Structures are given as structure tokens and as C-alpha cells.
Structure 1
Amino acid sequence: MKRFWRSHSSVVNRTVCVGLLLGLLAVACFAGLVWVQFIQGTTLAQAATQSRTLSVKVNAKRGKILDTNGTVLAQSVERYTIIGNPQAAQSFEPTDCTPKTEPYCQSLNGKNLTTTGAAAVAQLLSPLLGEPATTIGGELSAPGQYAVLKKDVTPEVKRKIDKLYLGGIVYGELSNERIYSNGTLMGALLGGVDDSGKGVAGIEQLENSTLTGTDGYEIYQQGGGGEEIPGTMTESKDAVNGSDVTLTIDRDVQWRVEQILEQSQEKYSADWGIAVVQEVSTGDIVALADTDEIEAGSDAAKINVARAVSQTFEPGSIGKVFTVSGLLQEGLHKMSDKFTVPSTLELDGQTYKDAEEHATSQWTLAGILQQSSNVGTILASSHYSDKARYEYLTKFGIGQPTGLKLPGESQGVLSSYKDWDGRTRNTVLFGQGYSTNILQLTNAVAVIANKGVRRPQTLIKAVTNADGKTTRMENTTSTRVVDESVAKNVLNGMESVAESYQKFAGVPGYRVASKSGTAEVVGADGRLSSIISDYTAIIPADDPKFVVTVVLKNPQGGFGGLTAGPVFAQIGEFLMQKYDIPNSSPRKDAIPTEW
């Protein structure tokens, strides 16, 4: 009996102990539940929500660049960067296609996949991304959770990838690709953008702040497959696209000028050619062209400045236009004043010659301009002070910033008259001893076309913001350089110049006022072995609409009027036809050139 009670007592003790332990465990579980539910519940819920919450950047689209008529020259289009999650890809198990799984299964060419992991994902993506499956598989086999599989993917391809149901493994990040629709047209002038979409050259750089928009964002919760959970967006800010920039350049004129330059470069075996077309009444640049064939947006466009912007040169005899203008404005001469002009002149120990030897001639000041006589220009300037010579060049804009602020623009060199030596003080009278660029030179000649007033040049016509509001970029600040009567008389003299080149550089049906130039420049050998030939013209001379300047380097065929002049003629004829300019009235007021 005692043994029985001892055994029974032992069982009871063990039972009580087990019961106590179970009770304690129940209490602990209940306490834990209370702790989780009532004390840590909010914190854990917040943590879970936070782990599912995603902040996504909404990219702003870069503004367009358009020509004066609204033709698109540069624009950003929607593109995607396809991103893979290697860690998720390596554990991927494709879903076989059956009637029940049809909406979300994965197959290739109608057949279920026989592989798994990164290889299976790569097989699905390869036809859509146009990349070998081995390449994609290699990217997805690396450690980590982020791998760029393809950039600049179209929305159409992105939608096809979405239908593969690879949420959490493959997704697209929205980006913008910059598209230039006209190839080499205005290539280096338009410039390009870097990988971040920032303008780094040309007009893209000049107008970067205007073209660049402001990114927005969206904050929402995502599901296990990376998809947005409907109704969970808590905060968002719309992206504001960049403004569109409209240029003064006419694409059709630009195209034709570039074509003419390229043909002329080949015809005259020139090293290069550049040209500008400027509207007289507004200062608008209608064309700014060169012969460098650079694709807009290319690496070359991002590191090179358009030659028409950067190239400087001595203008040669075109500079006589500014000298004659100064002489008239200062009251030192009239265009009809008479001079006896030899072919050679010795002055202060220096020898000066005309381009072609000639007998001593009886020319008026208009005749000196027409014959482009260096000697005659020096003789006419005997009382024209060095200070005045310098001041009129600067008034015309020579050696001064154009105000266009184009990246890489070179403004040339015009040293102070105080630094001139005995020869330079005279060579500046006929366009040597200083350098300019084609934009400066064109606007300087436009002073004569615009009745003595210098207008600021304009390349940006208007800006249209994301709301559609357009602002015209007008610069009304103008400066009178010479009196209207002076400009009229110089224009008259330039028309006589153009008549001398009528056979080579005339535009049928239209009067032209022009000046040619030729200057020796330093060549690759370090000597004055290269030639700049230039020609600038106002058309029509009786009612100026455009100034056209052409510059050729080392053309085979003679002086500026015989090489650059014919190039102008083709451009001028195109302009008159395109803009339907009425034919000129006959000339009746020519100033005598001889006496």
C-alpha cells in the first residue's frame, strides 16, 4: 500500500509540475500577445508599412528646341532603363502555362520554360531587349539587387516586359532620350546633353536652365511583385516639364546654306566654309552654318564648338566699309571727294600696295571703296586719328561680344590704338591687324543696311513654358553708330562694289550692296601661307532685308569676290525666292567713282 501511495504521489507531482509549466508558458504567450498587440502593434505596423512604401521620382521632360516656324530640331522622348534584381532572379521559378495560369504564366514561343533562375529570366528578356540571353544571364547572376540590363528602351518594349509578370525581378525606370531629327544640320551649334540630361554644348548648354524641368515624385506602397497597391498613394508632386525654346533660325534656309557651302568647299577645294544670314530689321540670325559635318547630340557635338561660332579671322578689305563710314561721320570727306591714287605708297618707312598693280588713278572716295584700294584708303585717312580709327571699329562691334553668349564664341582681337605700331595703325584701315568672327562682321555691315543703327543680334526668338505661355525674347536696345545719311552714302558705294562683281556674284532681278575681302593668315607652317576669302552683301540694296556673309579658308580661285562672292549669290537667290521679295527698282543715284 505504501508503494502505491508513493507511486501515486510521484505521478501527481509530475502532473502538477507539467501543469505549472504549461500555465507559465500560456501566461508568457498571452503576455507576448498583449505586448505585440497593444504595446508594439503600432510600431510593427508602421515598420511593415514603411518596408512597403516606395518613393518614386517622376522625371520632367526636357523642353524642345524648334526653328522659327515651329519645326522640331531637338526633343526628348519617353524611354525606360530596364533594371533587374539579380538576387530575386536567381530564385525565380517560372509558372507553367495552363488554362488556369494563362493570365500570369511564363512561356517562350508558346512553350513552357525548362530552366529556372537567372537563365530563365534571361531567356524571357532576350527577344525583347535584343541582347543575348547569356549576356543578360551574366548580369543577373551577379550578387546584389540592382543591375542595369538595357537603357533607352521604348514604352512599347516596356509594356511587353510588364506582360512577362516578372514583378520584383525586372522593372523599368522612366527616363528621357534626346532626339535630333535632322542629323548633321546645325550639329555642333545645337550641341548635346550628357547622361544626366544636362546641356553640355551649343544651344543645349546656352539654354539649359530654360530647357530643364523640375522632377516630381510619388509615394505609395508596393506589393510583393513590386506593383503599386491601389489606393495607397500618400503623397505626390507633379513634374514640371522644361520650356520649349524657339530659335530665329529657319531650318529650310539653314539646310540650303549648308548645302551650298558644302558644294562650294568642294568646288574651290577650300579647307572650310562658314556663312551667316541675318535679318536687317530685327537682328535675327536666320542661318548660322559651316561645312563641319557633325551629328547633333553626338560625342563630337558635345566637345566641339560650331566653327561659325568659334572661328576668327582678319576680315581684309571688308574693313574699309568701317573706315569710310568713320571718315564721313567725322566730316573728313564726302563720297564724291577726289583722290589721285598710285599703286604703291611709301609712308613712315613702310610700304603699302594695292592687291593688283595699276597706273596712278583718279578715283573718288566711292571709287577707292569700289576698287578696294589700300593705298587710297590710307591717303583718305591722313587726318583720321588713331583714336577715331579704334573707336569706330568698336562702335561697329569689332572685337566686342555679340551678346549671343554662345558657348565657345570667340570675339576676336582688337588691341588698343595705344598699342599699335607704325604699320598696324594703317593696316587696320583695310581690315588687317585685328581679327573678328563672322557674327560680329555681319552685324557690323548690318549697321549700314539699318540706316546707321546697330541692333543686337538675336538667336532665341521665344520661350514657351509648360503651361503654354509664350514669351518673345526681344532686345530693343539699339545704338546709333553713324548718321542715316552716312549709312546711305556708304550703301551707295557698296552697291558700286557689287556691280563690279555682277558677273560672278550678282542676283538676277535684285540690287546688291557688297564688299569683298582677302587676307593672308598664318598657316600650318607658321607663316603667312593661308588665305581667308570673305564676301558680305546687303540684299536688296534698295530695300535691305538681309545681310549675308560668306568666309572660305584657302579657296582655289582668287580673291574673295571671285570665290566667296558666288557662294553669296546662290544664297541670295534662294532667299529672294523663299521670302518672295519683289524685284528691285532700277538704280539711278550712283555716286561717281572716277573723276
Structure 2
Amino acid sequence: MKKNITNIKIIVIFLVLVLIGGIISFNVFFTTISGVHLRSGINVLEKKAGSQEKVEVIQARRGTIRDRNGSAIAQNSDTYTIVAILDKNRQGNYAYVEDRQFTAEALAPILGMDVDQILNYLNLQDSGQYQTYLGDKGRNLTQEQKDAIDAIVYTPDPNKKTTGLPGIEFEKTVSRVYTPGRFASTLLGFASYDSQKQRLVGQVGIEAYLDDYLKGTDGKAVSQKDANGYSLPGTTRITEVAINGSDVYLTIDKDIQEALEDCLQKTIENNDAENAWAIVMEVETGKILAYGGYPTYDLNSREDPVYTDMPSMFTFEPGSVIKPFTYAIAMEEGVYRGSDTVETGRFCIGYNDDYTEIYRKEGPCSLEGNINDGYRPGWGTITFDEGLVRSSNTCIATLLTSYLKTDVFWEYLDRLGFFKQTGVEGLSMSEETGIKNNTYAIDRLNFGYGQGSSITALQLVQAYTAIFNDGYEVKPYYIDKIVDANNNVVYEGDTTYVHTDEEGNPQRIFSTETTQKVMELMKQVIQDPEKGTGYSYNIEGLDMIGKTGTGEIAVNGSYGKSLYTSNIMAAAPSDDPKIMVYYGFQSSHVGDFDKSFYQNLFTVAYEAAGIRSTETTNTETNYDNWQEYSMPALKNHTMDYVNQKISEMNVHPVYIGDGTTVTDQYPNANDSVTTNQNVFIKTNSVNISMPNMINWSYKDVMIYKQISGLNIICNGSGTVVSQSVTENTAVTSDTEIVIQLE
């Protein structure tokens, strides 16, 4: 009996399996013949060819470029393109545009298009078109525009009330955004979307040089697809995980860079300059804190892009800013006697029989020429020491004819790195070397005061570290570190000494005695009101040293009088420089130009380097109570929360607007804040009252201007002494506010 029951069960199971197999076979046979999936009703053959699988690229996020404090300079921004699905046969709820009029009227105000324009695209439904784009205004939509479209409530059919528009879908694209748009543009470069590679690709500058680090590695997702190539729900699997690009941290300081951009732009506009350039650098490390040149361009709009990187690619005759090297070389060779005297005004050139050497002959000068001081009458008989302070060409000519051999002078120039690439990473492919013109005796002499041969700003900055850094020359660099998606540091910049021994130990070019003596003279250049040729650059309260230079520009083989190179190298503090700021431009102006732009830049750099001014040091401030804090995160918090946090620190809060919630702050969360520092807090209100800016620094004014969006014009340098709009006056972006600094 049991055996019969067992046989019956086997027969039943067999019949069930046969039935299931028959159904599956029929489904496959039906699908094969008809092209329609029996259960889902999806046509798997219509408008389809090839594999049943759909392979999609999972795009890796391009890494962010940040300044030394972590502020984003270049980052990705998602944009969207509308795709309107028109085919009424497309399967699924809300799968195509059902109500064209409603859709057009809903999209028009968000896209800035006429209703009829949109209908022209949607009416392609009548011709059987499967899908359509909506023209240029339907592309590159912001996240806000997409959110607004997604929030539309579709209501024509009460039974189909839903959020979003049926048939309106989005293709996600990525663009690169730069904040601000002009920010070391020729150094930073830009990335743009490459349709073939389907990703952002660095085109020039850092974006191109570090593209392999920034781009990341795309992943892949595989899914089953329907007749129209769309992924079937629940069938997607990731076969390769996307690895996001690494973040690049630069040594550049955003605050100093913005001050540099402001300085150069005003130089071009107010001094009728044809071009301008500047570099701010840490003396001991070689870290570039700010870098740039004009002409420049906006990295976001990229209208009329400029590809000449002024500091590394533009060559010029620097003029007297070279003289400290001539003095230092003479000192290092033991031939310099600072108390020896020289008759200034004019150096009459004489040659030996074979014209290989020059000597000073008694006047009057012959056709063989002469060398004049910038101040043509001269200063009578002065010492060599005073000669550098007054920037005497005749003193330089005397040094190089009666004390220092020109061959030795040029050997030192070679060691200092003039007329060759510095090898700064990322710039060596395009870096210019300048023109080394030392064929004749007069050529070898001329460069002693910066004429006859041309160099780059980058060469000059590197060479000056040998004077400011106790004789050790360091290479500039701007890449601080590279951090991968797993927060691992995969590259780290470091100080590189230009000269080392076999064991890698740094080697001096100049002795401490030489550098201290040269810097003592350079201090007088800036701080001596009677003799110092750079005194007009002096900033009260800042312990500066420096050297200015004016170079004539050769046109068609001869020097004209219509265009000059003006430049200055300065550093602080005078006894042990930590920060150096080099600035130059070419203009028809000689001496009678506005120095305040440079002074503002130097002040911001000085403060950012954490150097206390002599003016501050001499006050009665009790530094025993000085403290350093970590700035709390205030964005999106209420004012009650903000006031509580601020009360825990001895700082000066500056509120921008009278709102109830914070929308922006400076310093940023986790940045360092010190006692009595101004802290800027912007609220969600457009009602702004003018603060009392008296005694504010230039940097503070610029921060307030950026966060508030107000129209603020700064004149002078140092600290604020007056403001055109009184405290507590209501101001808007249309209000012109003039700030005077001294």
C-alpha cells in the first residue's frame, strides 16, 4: 500500500515538473516569436539589438583642489540635462510625457523658456519620436533647478497625482567650479568635460599636471535592460567599484592669494601697466603662499584664456633688485670693504687693449660710453655701504672692475640658478630660462645692476632665499600634499635645498656674516627715510628689509624711455626673515606710481605668517592672556547657539545682517582663532549695518567685503583710520564705502 502511495507521489511530482517546464518553454518560445515577455508584458526585442545586459559607467568624483587651510578652490558641481520621453508605448507608470501643455507651462519659468518653445519639442511626440532634449536651456541645469522640477505636483489626472513631471528625466553631468574665478589662474589651470572620455579632464596647469591623481578610477554597473535599453528594476549589480580622485592641497593661502589678485588688478588699472606679477613665499621652507600674474582670466567663464604664466615664463631685465647679489658675492669672496669710497654720478668706461676688461678712466667720457647713476648728479663721494642703500650704479661698476672679478661674479650667478630652469614641479615643461648675455666685457658688467640679461621672477625668488635664509638656497614649491579617497597621504611636498653634499646635507652659498651684512643694508633701503631708495614702500609698524629695482626695456636692440620694469623684493622681520614678497610690473611710470597695492599685499602676507608687528609688540597688550582657539562650526545654527559659543572665546564678533540663522562664517570651522581676533558671522538677513572698521587690518576689510558682498574701496595700507560711511548706517550692495588705511 505504501509503495503505491509513493509511486503516486512520484508521478505527481513528475507531472508538476513537466507542467512547469512546459510553461517556461512556452514563455521562451512565445518571447522568442513575439518579442514580448509573457509575465511582465515588456517587449524585449523592440528597438533593441545585441546583448541583453546594459553596462553603465559609475563615474568617479574628481578630487578637490584646496588651499593650505583646506578651503576648496576647484571642485565638482553636478549639472543636469532634461530628457523628455515621448513614446506612449513605454512601459511603467508616468513613463512618458502625458500632458504636453501642463508640462510646458510648468517647465517654462524654471528654464527661462517660452511655453511655445517647449511645446515645439514635446510635439515631436506626434511624429513618433521616442525622446527629445529641450535645447540649450534644458542643459546644464543647477541642482536648484532640478529640485524645483522634481517638486512640481502633476495634477491633470486626479487619479495620477504625483510629485514630478511624467516623462521628464535627467541626465547627470559634472562641471568644474573655481572659487573664486580668478585665482592663480595660469598656475591652477582648468578641467573641462571630455565627451569621449566621459569625464572631467585637466587641460592646463595643475589640473592637467595632476590629472592622474585627481581623476580617480571609474566603476561599472551591469543590469538587465528592456526593449528601449532601460535597466530593469532589481537587476543592477556593481562589477567594478568607483574610486574617487585624490584631493590636492596646495601651499597657497587663499587670503594672501586674493590680496595678490587685488594688488595686480589695481596695478594694471591704476598704474597703466601692461603686465604685472607677484610671488609670496615662506623663506625657510620654499612654500609658495601666493602666486600670479596679469593678464589673467576667469577660470569659470574662460573667456580669452591666458596661457603665459608670468612668474615662470615671462623674462625681463630686473634692474637694481640684483645689486644685493653683487654685494653678497664680493663679501663672500673677501674683497668687499664697505667703508671704501666711490665718486658717484658717472662712471666713464675705459677698455684694455684687447677689450676684455673694463676700467674707470678719468672724464670726460669718450664714445666708449659711461654708466650713470639713476640720480644723475650723484651724491658725491660715498661709501660702498651707502652705495647699496642709495642704489648706486657707479658703486656696482667699481666693485666689478676694481674689487671683484666678473668671471667669479658670473660663476656665483650660475650657482644661484639664474638663466636656468628652477625645476619647480609642474612648471619645468614650460619654464623659461631667460637670456644670459655675457659675451663681452660690458655685458658681464651690466648685469651687476640688472641690465643686459633677462631672468624670470621664479629664478629671482629662489635666489633670494640664499640671502634671507642664512646662505641656504631652497627651491620654491606649491604642492603641499595629495590625499587619496581613503584619506591616505600619497604625496607630500617638502623643503628642497638647491645645494647639498654627497650625504644630502644642505650647503651654503653665503656665510652668515655675509647674509647678515647684506640684510642690514637692505633694512636701510626700506627704513632709512633719507637715503633708502625703497622707503616709499615702508609700512609703519612692520620690520621690513628689501631692495627695489627699475629696469629699462630694450626695444629693437636699444633702450627706450617709454617703458620700464619696476619691481621690489622685500622680507620680514629684518633680523630673521620668515616671509618674502616679490612684486613687479611694466609701465611707462618711473617711481611715480601707487605703492599702496604692494603694501596691502605685504600686510596681509605678514599677518598670515603670524609675525607680530613692532607696533603691536610695543603696546601694553598683556600677552600672558593670549590664547589660541579652534573656531566652532556656526553655519546653520541659531544666534543663541552662536552667542554661547562666541562667549567662550576672547574674540571680537562682527555680525553681518540681523537674521536668526548663520549662513557663513570666517574663520571656517576648526581653523585657528587667537585672542582679540575679528570673527565674521553672516546671517540670513539682507539688513546690514555698517560696522566700525577703525583699526581694522586690510585683511579684515577684505574678508568683510567678500562675505558681505558690499562695495568697499580701500585706499592706502596698514590699518583703517577712516570710513566714508558711519557706524550703524544701513548699507546695501549699491552703497559705495571708501576705507582709508595708513
Q: Under TM normalisation by the shorter chain, which class is it?
A: 0.7 to 0.9
How does 1:431-442 map onto structure 2 within 5 Å? 431-442=450-461
Question: 1:299-320 CA deviation, whole Å, 9 max, x = no partner?
Answer: 3475533434433211101111
Question: 1:557-587 CA deviation, whole Å, 9 max, x = no partner?
Answer: x33xx647554433333333444423459xx
Measure the CA separation in 1 of the matches of 2:581 and 2:546. Answer: 9
Tell me what 1:17 maps to: none
Structure 1, unmatched stretches of 5+, are 1-29, 96-100, 586-595
CA contact (8 A) 1:512 1:541 kept: yes
Measure the CA separation in 2 of the matches of 1:402 and 1:144. Answer: 60
Tell me what 1:451 maps to: 470
Tell me what 1:357 maps to: 376
Which of 142-151 and 530-539 deviates more?
142-151
Which of 274-283 and 448-457 deviates more?
274-283
Tell me what 2:410 maps to: 390
Question: 1:91-123 CA deviation, whole Å, 9 max, x = no partner?
Answer: 43799xxxxx9x73878xxxx7377xxxx9867
Tell me what 1:151 maps to: 139
Q: 1:492: how far off?
A: 1.6
C-alpha distance 181-573 of structure 1, shift in aligned 2 (>3 A): closer
Q: 1:327: how far off?
A: 1.6
1:411 to 413, 425, 432: 432
Measure the CA separation in 2 of the matches of 1:549 and 1:105. Answer: 63
Measure the CA separation in 1 of the matches of 2:238 and 2:598. Answer: 60
Question: 1:27-79 CA deviation, whole Å, 9 max, x = no partner?
Answer: xxx9xx899869x99xx99x979654211111111111111111111100223
Q: 1:334: how far off?
A: 4.0
Q: 1:463: how far off?
A: 1.0
Measure the CA separation in 2 of the matches of 1:268 and 1:155. Answer: 43
Give the AA of the match of 1:113. D
Tell me what 2:544 maps to: 512
1:576 paired to 2:597 = no
Give the AA of the match of 2:178. Y
SS in 2 for 1:443: helix
Q: 1:341: how far off?
A: 4.1
Measure the CA separation in 2 of the matches of 1:114 and 1:546. Answer: 65
Give the AA of the match of 1:541. S
Measure the CA separation in 2 of the matches of 1:525 and 1:148. Answer: 60
CA contact (8 A) 1:281 1:545 kept: yes
CA contact (8 A) 1:542 1:584 kept: no
Which of 151-160 and 274-283 deviates more?
151-160
CA contact (8 A) 2:61 2:216 kept: yes
Tell me what 2:419 maps to: 399
CA contact (8 A) 2:525 2:535 kept: no
Q: Which has the higher contact order (CA 8 A, sep 6+)?
A: 1
Give the % identical residues.
26
Measure the CA separation in 2 of the matches of 1:185 and 1:412. Answer: 25
Measure the CA separation in 1 of the matches of 2:89 and 2:232. Answer: 23
Tell me what 2:565 maps to: 532
Measure the CA separation in 2 of the matches of 1:35 and 1:306. Answer: 68
Q: 1:200: how far off?
A: 1.4
Measure the CA separation in 2 of the matches of 1:259 and 1:139. Answer: 46
C-alpha distance 165-428 of structure 1, shift in aligned 2 (>3 A): same
SS in 1 for 2:513: helix
How does 1:32-181 map onto structure 2 within 5 Å? 51-83=51-83, 89=86, 91-92=87-88, 104=94, 113=99, 129-132=111-114, 141=124, 149=134, 150-155=138-143, 157-158=145-146, 160=149, 163-166=164-167, 171-181=169-179
C-alpha distance 526-132 of structure 1, shift in aligned 2 (>3 A): farther
CA contact (8 A) 1:534 1:552 kept: yes
Tell me what 2:289 maps to: 286
Tell me what 1:195 maps to: 193
TM-score, L = length of structure 2: 0.63
C-alpha distance 123-35 of structure 1, shift in aligned 2 (>3 A): closer
SS in 1 for 2:565: strand
TM-score, L = length of structure 1: 0.77
1:218 paired to 2:221 = yes
CA contact (8 A) 1:257 1:571 kept: yes
Give the AA of the match of 2:396. T
1:324 to 298, 323, 327: 327
Give the AA of the match of 1:245. V
Q: More helix by proportion, 1 or 2? A: 1
2:553 to 518, 521, 530: 521
CA contact (8 A) 1:276 1:549 kept: yes
Measure the CA separation in 2 of the matches of 1:412 and 1:548. Answer: 21
CA contact (8 A) 1:320 1:429 kept: yes
C-alpha distance 191-541 of structure 1, shift in aligned 2 (>3 A): same
How does 1:259-270 map onto structure 2 within 5 Å? 259-270=262-273
CA contact (8 A) 2:437 2:444 kept: no
Which of 434-443 and 230-239 deviates more?
230-239
C-alpha distance 50-291 of structure 1, shift in aligned 2 (>3 A): closer
C-alpha distance 221-127 of structure 1, shift in aligned 2 (>3 A): farther
Tell me what 1:377 maps to: 396
Measure the CA separation in 2 of the matches of 1:564 and 1:230. Answer: 68
Q: 1:377: how far off?
A: 0.8
Tell me what 1:236 maps to: 239
CA contact (8 A) 2:571 2:579 kept: yes
SS in 1 for 2:177: strand
1:487 paired to 2:515 = yes
Give the AA of the match of 1:64. T
CA contact (8 A) 2:553 2:565 kept: yes
Measure the CA separation in 1 of the matches of 2:614 and 2:281. Answer: 19
CA contact (8 A) 2:579 2:606 kept: no
Measure the CA separation in 2 of the matches of 1:361 and 1:238. Answer: 78
Q: 1:178: how far off?
A: 0.7
SS in 2 for 1:446: helix
Q: Alpha carbon RMSD of aligned pairs, Å? A: 3.8
Q: 1:451: how far off?
A: 0.7
CA contact (8 A) 2:297 2:305 kept: no
Measure the CA separation in 2 of the matches of 1:524 and 1:147. Answer: 60
Q: 1:213: how far off?
A: 1.3
C-alpha distance 54-123 of structure 1, shift in aligned 2 (>3 A): farther
Tell me what 1:10 maps to: none
CA contact (8 A) 1:520 1:532 kept: yes
Q: 1:551: how far off?
A: 0.7
Tell me what 1:551 maps to: 584
C-alpha distance 525-315 of structure 1, shift in aligned 2 (>3 A): closer
1:247 to 247, 250, 266: 250
CA contact (8 A) 2:312 2:432 kept: no
SS in 2 for 1:428: helix
Question: 1:522-578 CA deviation, whole Å, 9 max, x = no partner?
Answer: 46999623111111112111120111111121153x33xx64755443333333344
Which of 67-76 and 230-239 deviates more?
230-239
Tell me what 1:7 maps to: none
1:423 paired to 2:442 = yes
Measure the CA separation in 2 of the matches of 1:284 and 1:50. Answer: 56
Measure the CA separation in 1 of the matches of 2:557 and 2:111. Answer: 52
CA contact (8 A) 2:217 2:245 kept: yes
Measure the CA separation in 2 of the matches of 1:35 and 1:570. Answer: 80
C-alpha distance 83-340 of structure 1, shift in aligned 2 (>3 A): same
